[in-house]
Amino acid sequence: MPRLAQLWRSMPLRLAVLLVALFATVSLLSLAASYAVTQSSFEQSIRADLRQDLAGFRAAPNARAVALLVEAESREADPNRLILSYIAPGGRIYGNGAIARDDAGFQILSLDPERAGFVGDYLALTDTLYGGLITVARSRAEIVALRAVFVNILWISLLPTVLIALSGGLILARRSKRHVEVVSTALDRMTSGDLAARVQIGPRWSDDLMHLGGKLNQMAGAQEAQMKALRGVSSDIAHDLRTPLQRVALYLEDLSAQVPKDSESADLTDKIATEIDGMTHVFQALLQLAQLEAGSARGRFAPVDLTALCHKVAEMFEASAEAADHRMVLDVPRDSVTVQGDAALLGQVLSNLFENALRHTPAGSSITIALTQDEQGTTLSVTDDGPGIPESEREKVLQRLYRLDRSRSTPGHGLGLSLVEAVAALHDAEFTLADAAPGLRATLRFGA
């Protein structure tokens, strides 16, 4: 039913229905006009025959001759087609029928004792002749049959046309829907960050869709080129500045050796060293992001035991969690849960998520590392019961160097979650941030 609803909402099918309705309306009006003209022609022909019949009887010399002529013709006439009646001046009725009137209107009664009356509609003409009353009536059976003929013509001509037109519209709608789905799929990939996605234009595409697909591909190509240039610039800057920073760190180390300990100069050099170390980590993270986005790490993919990885990270941060008065919970299955990937990068992801939870939650908070597997895939999550991230900020924190206002006083460079998302994309996993009520749940979902 949903597919039929989608097809009904498609433009080709709606246009086909509109054209069918227009064609059906024109056909009905044309057939109705044809029927009215044909019916009028038949009635005029019958009335002309009636006038001619009366003219023949007027040629008789007297009432007796008219009565004999009516009797003679009525014996030869089919009463279902022609009825003759002459009421002579003496009141006697000649012919095969008589005109009578009751509450229902005029009726033609049969003069044949074996027939009670006549069934059907008749056109009749009545006139006085030699003191008597003569009536000639002809059946309208041909006109009545004409209606059935036109109804049959309507069904025979209109119904197949409607069915063919609707079938054609349905076929066009399905073909158009496939073309639109190709464009929609490419747009979904582009908006999700895959700027290499393109609209695959087929050979049977219409000119307007080909033009639209070409423009979308042109736009995606321009955006991809701009993003590559931007990433190249950031990578080049990070690469070029990392070496001078390392030199400054070495010079500072030499200077620290010459500065007396427990002096203001020593404290100052320590602070400078800390800041330089933070800047070096930022540039290293930017370079790592560039490498991840290039996809070069895929060549190192191998089976990774996520169960063992979770235990390893938990052991690494156990002391830090206790020192910060945090409670660590490890919820992983006993059996190994394996995915294809880079063990070092996945370990870095899990470490980043746990370190973020450790840094941004108050003392006494609980942090849970959970690992589950089902038919749809594998889920790795880190959940805390801290203040969480507002829903309006969850997309922004994935941007490079973006930090929440309340986090600006805590250590960090705003690249941790960007690295997590890049590693997730490299592994074809879905990374989401959700409300844990209270707290935050960071989840990586690997496909089956």
Q: For residue 262, give both structure tokens.
A: 């427990």
Residues 27 and 175 in one domain: yes
From CA 313, how far away is CA 336, in angstroms rounded?
A: 16
**Given this model, what pLDDT does residue 46 score?**
87
Q: For residue 245, give both structure tokens.
A: 């920073």
**Given this model, what pLDDT does residue 236 score?**
57
Residues 328 and 235 in one domain: no
Residues 438 and 390 in one domain: yes
State percent of the chain over pLDDT 70. Answer: 74
The secondary structure element, H or E, covering residue 172 is helix 141-191
From CA 255, how far away is CA 259, in angstroms rounded?
A: 6
Task: Give residues with Cβ within 8 angstroms of 372, minimum separation 6.
Answer: 333, 378, 379
From CA 242, how far away is CA 17, in angstroms rounded?
A: 67
Residues 312 and 284 in one domain: no
Segment 309-313 long-range contacts (CB within 8 Å, at least 24 positions apart): 309/343, 309/346, 309/347, 309/350, 310/350, 310/369, 310/371, 310/380, 312/347, 313/347, 313/350, 313/351, 313/354, 313/369
| Dihedral over Cα of 165, 169, 170, 171: its sign | positive
Confirm whether pTM is higher than 0.85.
no
**Given this model, what pLDDT does residue 409 score?**
46
Bridge partners of 303, per DSSP, are 340
What is the average pLDDT across 406-429? Answer: 68
Residue 210 falls within a domain, yes or no?
no
Q: Give how many domains the chain has, as a whole number.
A: 3
Residues 129 and 237 in one domain: no
Listed residues 180, 196, 214: the one ending a domain: 180
Which structural domain, as residue segments, surrounds residue 315?
298-447
Task: Give residues with Cβ within 8 angstroms of 353, minimum separation 6.
Answer: 382, 420, 442
Residue 421 falls within a domain, yes or no?
yes
Question: How many separate helices (H) and strands (E) can be counted in the chain?
Answer: 9, 13
Q: Which residue has the higher pLDDT, 46 or 176?
A: 46
Residues 278 and 329 in one domain: no
Least confident interval from 121-135, 243-257, 293-307: 243-257
State percent of the chain over pLDDT 90. Answer: 6
pLDDT of 261 higher than 80: no
Residues 53 and 165 in one domain: yes
**Is the bond preceding residue 438 a cis peptide, omega within 30 degrees?**
yes
Listed residues 265, 294, 323: the one ending a domain: 294
Which CATH number fits the domain that encloses residue 314? 3.30.565.10
Residue 219 falls within a domain, yes or no?
no
Residues 304 and 277 in one domain: no
Residue 143 falls within a domain, yes or no?
yes
Residue 207 falls within a domain, yes or no?
no
Q: Predicted confidence band at 382 (pLDDT cuts at 50, 70, 90)?
A: very high
Residues 55 and 100 in one domain: yes
From CA 352, how far away is CA 372, in angstroms rounded?
A: 20
Q: Which of 328, 325, 333, 347 is nearest to 419 (CA)?
A: 347
Residues 176 and 240 in one domain: no
**Given this model, what pLDDT does residue 426 score?**
79
What is the average pLDDT across 300-310? Answer: 88
pLDDT of 18 higher than 80: no
